Amino acid sequence: MSHIIDTARLNYPLIRTRALSLGLTPINLTKLLGVRLEALEVDLDQRSVSLTMLVRLSRVLDLSLDELVVIDGPTPTAPQPTGAAGDDATILALVATYSGITIDRVLTLLHWRSGRLEAALASLDDQLQVTPLRLVVTDAHLSLALRGVLPDDTRERLDLEQRQREPLAAHDAAALLILVLRKILEPFPDSDEDPESLPTEERALDLVNIGLAVPVAAGRLGDVQPHPDVMFALRLAAEPDTSPGQPAFRTALA
């Protein structure tokens, strides 16, 4: 007589539905969890889902452990990232029309999972190999570039300028406000500060890259403070910073 071993798994449909209802895009959820949901889903025996991960999911999504975990019978087969015909053309149209687009925006507008986007990007990249165009993919942004026409340093400067013209994402705005509040309370060292409320190292470095924060001298990696001109733009400083060597401020916000 054969025995079927039931497998405890995360309730992925409920997790995605709950995240969507809370306004969390796949990329935002990944940043809060520290891992892509798809990476947990393809782990058939779910050994990568630690107690810490369960607690983190419960707090982020306000779901009980009973709601997060389901017993769904035999071990399922791993979901395969698949795309649909025309997905690659859709991505090309979006990137070309908007002169580049954030991955977060693509996933939100198209209601795609990360796996579908990855399949579309792979297909599009293959098609562009025989053209002068190449697809530039970063952790957060998609853009097109001409092969061998622009030097890398010039392209990077143009990419940064383009990013600075885009509206500030909600999570970047929240991180910047936390840094501004921390700066305001700097003269009051006894004020309570929750270390978990501080921006992550990745988010802090993003703010530096787009000209809204500067590293703290002799601080740890990721220890940053608002750009001096941010405080001036918010009328929290009497004058802009004119010291030599000061990193450029994102003037589009001023």
40: CATH: 1.10.260
pLDDT given at position 83: 60
Torsion of the alpha carbons at 176, 180, 186 and 188, rounded to the nearest 10: -120
* Predicted local distance difference test score (pLDDT) of residue 75: 46
- 229 and 201 within one domain: yes
**78 located within any domain:** no
Task: Let me know if residue 80 belongs to a domain.
Answer: no
Of 117, 146, 162, the position where a domain reaches its end is 162
What region, left, alpha or beta, does residue 235 occupy, with left being phi > 0 and alpha being psi -120 to 50 degrees? left
Segments of the chain with pLDDT less than 70:
1-7, 44-45, 72-83, 148-150, 164, 190-197, 217-222, 241-254
Same-domain check for residues 61 and 105: no
Are residues 147 and 208 part of one domain?
A: no
Structural domains of the chain, count: 3
Q: What is the pLDDT of residue 90?
A: 92
For residue 76, being part of any structural domain is answered with: no
Q: Verify that 174 and 199 share a domain, yes or no.
A: yes
Is 82 a member of any domain? no
Burial 145-167 (b: 16+ CB within 10 A, else e): beeeeeeeeeeeeebeeebbeee
CATH number at residue 104: 1.10.10.10
Same domain, 200 and 246: yes
* Whether the Cβ atoms of residue 165 and residue 102 lie closer than 8 Å to each other: no
Q: Say what the pLDDT of residue 4 is.
A: 44
Q: Of the candidates 162, 197, 212, which is a domain's last residue?
A: 162
In a domain, 79, yes or no: no
Domain C-terminal end among 162, 192, 214: 162
Q: Are residues 181 and 223 in the same domain?
A: yes
Whether 109 and 147 share a structural domain: yes
User: What range defines the domain where residue 218 resides?
Assistant: 170-253
Shared domain for 215 and 177, answered yes or no, is yes
pLDDT score for 157? 77
In this structure, is residue 183 part of a structural domain? yes
Q: Measure the CA–CA gap between 44 and 68, rounded to whole angstroms.
A: 16
pLDDT score of 249: 53
Residue 107 CA to residue 201 CA, distance in Å, equals 24
Residue 67 and residue 12 share a domain? yes
**Of 111, 98, 232, 225, the residue nearest 163 (C-alpha):** 98
Q: Is residue 77, in this structure, part of any structural domain at all?
A: no
> Residue 11: its pLDDT value, please?
84
pLDDT of residue 80: 47
Could you read off the pLDDT of 180-216 as tens digits, one per residue? Answer: 888 888 887 766 666 666 777 778 887 887 778 888 7
Q: What is the mean pLDDT of the chain?
A: 77
User: What pLDDT, on the 0 to 100 scale, is given for residue 197?
Assistant: 67
Q: Does residue 3 sit within a domain?
A: no
